[in-house]
Amino acid sequence: MSMKMMPHDSWAEVYDEVYKRSFGKFYSDLTKVTMEVIDQIAPKYGKIIDFGAGTGRLSIPLAKKGYQVTAVEPSQAMLEQLQKKKVNLPIQMQLARMDEYADEAEYDLALCVFTVILYLLDEASLEKSFQAVYSTLKKDGLLLLDIPTHYLFQSAYYSDEDMERNIQIEQKDDGRYDYKEEVIFQKKDKSYRYSDSFMIRYWEEETVLNLLEKTGFKIEKDLSTYFLGSGSHYYVFRK
């Protein structure tokens, strides 16, 4: 894939700390609930592919529990952070966008959570992504997917004693939004500034569900009540 800058490249080294400071206990609770759901739907020691794996928020604890994990992430910088954290865990890492991924390893479960689909800006990319996920799963394999609601598409500001995080989100056209972020850390009388800018897209839930059905997926469960407050609707789909 091309070496152009990807979302989060510029601040991957502080990504984990920023999210922990921004959301506190809710962030760790979200991870805990997601892990509990995965344990309910995935076979013990099964094969899991984690799209948009980031720095390994899910891939690392899944590997520690004995799952066979492949982490797929389009940001080289984020994968480098995962590499530092995973130590000797047997996590396979792949640098790729979801719509570019090609593998037929027959996974038991595919993960596409924590707003991964909002980085896909057109319907062709979204459909191609679902086709790629479908091809990775074995017969009757499952997909855990979240669909972000409009709630997440608003500017926000977070701060503590030595961090400021300013997120500006501005609607453009056809469901697309301009996302700009600046993070400032104050440490030992020195400021560290990180900034990022990219486009995201709001997807109507009906559009997402229709494309999944077109690809061949069937809704297995609506798990949204497990994730109240996340700003997304969560579903399990079966191949």
Whether the CB-CB separation of 87 and 110 falls below 8 Å is answered with no
Reported pTM: 0.95
Total structural domains within the chain: 1
pLDDT digits (tens, 9 = 90+) for 74-116: 999 999 999 999 889 999 999 999 999 998 889 999 999 999 9
Residue 187 maps to a domain: no
Give me the half-sphere count of Cα atoms (radius 13 Å) on the Cβ side of residue 154. Answer: 6
State the pLDDT at residue 1: 41
Task: Say which residue the tokens 């094969």 belong to.
Answer: 47
Residue 182 maps to a domain: no
The CB-based long-range contact list for 120-124 (8 Å cut-off, 24+ gap) reads 120/201, 120/203, 121/176, 121/199, 121/200, 121/201, 122/201, 123/207, 123/211
Residue 229 maps to a domain: yes
What is the mean predicted confidence (pLDDT) over 160-177?
Answer: 95
Residue 219 maps to a domain: yes
Q: What is the mean pLDDT of the chain?
A: 95
Query: Which candidate, 111, 171, 114, places its Cα nearest to that of 148?
Result: 114
Concatenate the DSSP letters of all residues of 125-170 into one string.
Answer: HHHHHHHHHHHHEEEEEEEEEEEE-GGGSS-EEEE-SSEEEEEEEE
What is the mean predicted confidence (pLDDT) over 7-28?
Answer: 95
Residue 186 maps to a domain: no
Query: CATH number, domain at 14?
Result: 3.40.50.150
Minimum mean pLDDT range among 2-6, 174-178, 203-207: 2-6
Q: What is the DSSP letter of 106?
A: -
Residue 194 maps to a domain: no
Report strand pairing: 163-171 vs 156-159.
Answer: antiparallel
For the cut 80, the answer to whether the pLDDT of residue 202 exceeds it is: yes
Residue 178 maps to a domain: no
Q: What is the DSSP letter of 224?
A: G
Residue 82 maps to a domain: yes
Query: Which candidate, 32, 28, 34, 63, places its Cα nearest to that of 48?
Result: 63
Domain that includes residue 216, residue range: 9-148+203-238
| Helices 123-136, 205-215: crossing angle, 10 deg rounding | 40
